[in-house]
Amino acid sequence: MWNICNDLAMMGARPKYMTCSVIIEEGFATRDLEKIVKSMKDELAINGAIVVSGDTKVVPKGAVDKLFINTTAIGEIEYKGISASALKEGMSVLVSRDIGAHGAAIFAAREGMELQSSLQTDCASLYPQVKVLIDSGITIVALRDATRGGVSAVLNEWSKSSDVCIEIQEETIPVAEEVQGICEMLGFEALDLANEGTFVLCVPKEDEEKALSLLQERHISSALIATVTHQYKGKVLLNSSWGTKRFLDLPTGELLPRIC
């Protein structure tokens, strides 16, 4: 439920009405289904949305992989003008929390890594955070949850859509120690890892401090990571703390099979 609600939130809309269709494999544990339904109920409450329609089918064992859930949603626009094509020189780019937690957690589980840490997916409903930004009067230029392709994919899309250069300061990128460790072991870039409860925000320079302060009320790891320039139009430039520069390309292929 949270992911479809997040899609609406990223367009400046408040989730309102949803459909939910479920295909269940014969023999699926009732206790697991009850756990999933309770989680859906909790996320609906967080977003202030309700399910108005749906369908349930039980199919023979082996016909599906345990459980398929399909949702659609309708929202009410609360903020207009959010666009990947509206970035201009001097604007600031922020992330709502430390990045890559979802992708790292999934990899750790699938690779059987026994990590003695608190690493968890970042799955979360984002509408409450977006609502705070809207109510505060901050000008939201662009907004996107960094799902498949991670922050790299978002910034590359924005730089090309707006024909600008987005310059990232590498040392400002918030990455948890556990996530960085998995990246080093498997040869991944945290900026490429999937997120499910992290968004990227572009605001005018004058709203930078206020936006960061509001984001940090929810996640202290929120950070200002980049500035919009005209140095290399259509490119994302990564500036290291050692004074070197390199282009951050759009991720190729999928690090994880699609699971949502």
Q: What is the pLDDT along the chain (260 residues), one digit of tens a residue?
A: 678 899 999 999 999 999 999 999 999 999 999 999 999 999 999 999 999 999 999 999 999 999 999 999 999 999 999 999 999 999 999 999 999 999 888 887 776 665 556 788 899 999 999 999 999 999 999 999 999 899 999 999 999 999 999 999 999 999 999 899 888 887 889 999 999 999 999 999 999 999 999 999 999 999 999 999 999 999 999 998 888 999 998 877 665 555 55
Mode of pairing for the β-strands spanning 199-203 and 92-95: antiparallel
Give residues with Cβ within 8 angstroms of 34, minimum separation 6: none
Domain 92-247 has CATH 3.90.650.10: yes
pLDDT of residue 185: 83
Alpha-carbon torsion 244, 163, 159, 250, what sign?
negative
Determine the Cα–Cα distance for residues 165 and 87; give it in Å rounded to an integer.
10
The total of other beta-carbon atoms located within 10 Å of residue 102's CB is 26
pTM of the model: 0.90
Q: What is the pLDDT of residue 145?
A: 95
For residue 221, count other CB atoms closer than 10 A to its CB.
17
Instruction: State whether CATH 3.30.1330.10 applies to domain 2-77.
Output: yes
pLDDT for 23: 96
How do strand 13-25 and strand 50-59 relate by DSSP bridges?
Answer: parallel
| Tokens at 166, concatenated | 């987005």
Q: Which regions of the chain carry the CATH code 3.30.1330.10?
A: 2-77
| Residues forming CATH 3.90.650.10 domain(s) in the chain | 92-247
* Token pair for 186: 């498997």
Give the Cβ contact number of residue 26 at 10 Å: 11
Query: Tell me, what's the pLDDT at 243?
Result: 85
pLDDT of residue 252: 73
d(CA 30, CA 48): 27
